[in-house]
């Protein structure tokens, strides 16, 4: 069966799933931080492989991975592009491996449209315009030290400052 490996490499948890082209999920796996900014390169690579391996092990029947998509904050700013396909080839990924922004991943998980807007307002905050399936413009998302006005951290910091 021809399947796709999709992963969300977060700062705390890496989630991986194996799905066929109809969208049916065949396996799901979890591991630790897959983001090299928060975990370091070696730990992030290990988490990507571990989550993917667990997703493959959870499949009821053998699958053939046609490609892989990984989304993470900062996209691939500290992840050497050539190392990811090499490591994933060791567990059976033979096709192309793409690394994209988690913001684009969030947009695509909510719609089949290739154009629109994404707004994330949680601990951090960021807004983006998507055109032709790619990030076209991004506002903020620089993190709590440099921006993210209106985020949960921003609100909490102002409350704590007012109370103090």
Closest CA to 16 of 25, 109, 80: 25
What stretches of 32-144 adopt beta strand conformation (E)?
A: 64-72, 97-101, 116-121, 125-131, 134-140
Strands 125-131 and 25-31: unpaired
Cross-strand pairs, 131: 134
What spatial distance separates the first Cα and last Cα of the chain, rounded to whole Å?
A: 60
pLDDT digit string (tens) for 59-105? 999 898 889 999 987 665 556 667 888 888 888 888 899 888 888 98
The whole-number pLDDT of residue 117 equals 95
What is the distance between the alpha carbons of residues 36 and 21, in angstroms, rounded to a whole number?
29
The whole-number pLDDT of residue 78 equals 58
More confident call, 1 vs 161: 161
Is pLDDT of 123 > 80? no
What are the structural domains, with CATH classification, of the chain?
1-109 (3.30.420.40), 111-164 (no CATH)
What is the pTM (predicted TM-score) of this model? 0.81
């Amino acid at each position: 069966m021809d399947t796709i490996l999709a992963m969300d490499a977060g700062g705390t948890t890496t989630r991986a799933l194996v799905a066929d082209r109809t969208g049916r999920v065949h396996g799901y796996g979890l591991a630790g931080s897959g983001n090299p900014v928060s975990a370091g390169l070696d730990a992030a690579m290990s988490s990507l492989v571990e989550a993917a391996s667990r997703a493959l092990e959870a499949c009821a029947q053998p699958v053939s991975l046609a490609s892989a998509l990984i989304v993470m904050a900062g996209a691939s700013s500290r992840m050497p592009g050539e190392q990811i396909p090499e490591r994933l080839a060791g567990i059976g990924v033979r096709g192309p491996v793409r690394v994209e922004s988690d913001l684009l991943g969030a947009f695509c998980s909510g719609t089949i449209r290739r154009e629109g807007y994404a707004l994330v307002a949680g601990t951090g905050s960021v807004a983006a315009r998507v055109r032709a399936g790619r990030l076209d413009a991004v506002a903020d998302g620089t993190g709590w030290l440099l921006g993210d006005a209106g985020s949960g951290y921003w609100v909490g910091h102002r409350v704590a400052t007012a109370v103090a």
